[in-house]
Amino acid sequence: MSRPPALVLLNPAARHGRAGRLWDRVRREVEQRFDSSVVPIDPGGTWKRDVRASLRAGTRVFVAAGGDGTVHALAGAIVEARDDVPLGDICLGAVGLGSSNDFHKPFECLRSGIPLRLDMDRAAPRDLGRIRWVDAEGRDRESVLVVSASAGVVAEGNALFSSCRLGRHLPSLAIAVAAFRAIARHSTSRVLIRHDGGQEQIELSSLSVLKTQWLSGSLRYDLPIAADDGLLGVALCEAMGRPRLLGTLAGLARGRFAGRPGTRAFQTAALELGADTPLLLEIDGEVGLARHATFDLFPERLLACA
């Protein structure tokens, strides 16, 4: 049986620079499944030309070899470059070389301790979130959401984790340290949220917009989220001080969130968030400052390997 052509986007900087060594452990597994060409991520973004050229040449399988940020970057490049190619014709695979690899959870296939999503025979439709946001300088931006987005203390924790040296060898400990540091320095933000025809102002401690139950490491929500249900999961923490935030963190470590004091959880097709003062917005591990953000879903779904 012939192997389908595939473009593999490799991020050597993932896992704090360890991704290249990890990739060598599973390269043969990828080569056995696909007629693959490997393109490294470069700071100038020239790899996006390879994505576009591959689509034009008929390639319909793309594999992100890195962390959740690499999956996010590749999905975004596919959406930008696809022209009239239906998303449903494109299959997204992944090799988990990052620190958390939430796109892969729960892990079904591990090789040398590395999670893989390469099974095209069991590929299934997956929603892609769309975030249109205004950054701190007033520029309009648009991003895809594959795994999750956040604002407030969760976004702060993600920003701190990126600079934590422990993440290279002890990612679980680094996630915990970043979470505690984020809680210690956090203050609430006054924001306006709109969804399902209503709006309200809240004192935001944390917001997660989800297409998976997994937050980071072993932290997870107990919300009924499906990959292809056409809805976004939303988890809110409001007006929380440090003790309650610590209690919520402890609950997430056990997969318990809904019903805790100061929390709300719901599903919606669209959500709008506005703030007078720019706040951190995290999207699949990438962090920036935003004044306003609208979350919804692309009308098409792509295929995701199992």
Name 28's Cβ contacts closer than 8 Å, sequence gap at least 6: none
Tell me, yes or no, whether 80 lies in a domain: yes
Q: Which residues of the chain have pLDDT under 70?
A: 1, 163-169
In a domain, 136, yes or no: yes
- Looking at the fold, whether 63 and 203 belong to one and the same domain comes out as no
Residues 105 and 58 reside in one and the same domain: yes
Burial class (CB in 10 A: 0-12, 13-18, 19+), 46: exposed
How far, in Å, CA of 286 to CA of 288, rounded?
Answer: 7
Gap between the Cα atoms of 302 and 163, Å rounded:
32
CATH number for the domain that contains residue 146: 2.60.200.40
- pLDDT the model gives residue 170: 74
The pLDDT assigned to 159 comes to: 86
Same domain, 277 and 143: yes
- Which CATH number belongs to the domain containing residue 39 in this structure? 3.40.50.10330
3-state secondary structure (DSSP) of residue 246: helix
State whether 281 and 213 are in the same domain: yes
Instruction: Quote the pLDDT of residue 166.
Output: 58
On whether the pTM is more than 0.85, the answer is yes
Are residues 113 and 195 part of one domain?
no
Domain coverage including residue 35? 5-122
Report the domain count for the chain. Answer: 2
Whether residues 264 and 139 fall in one domain: yes
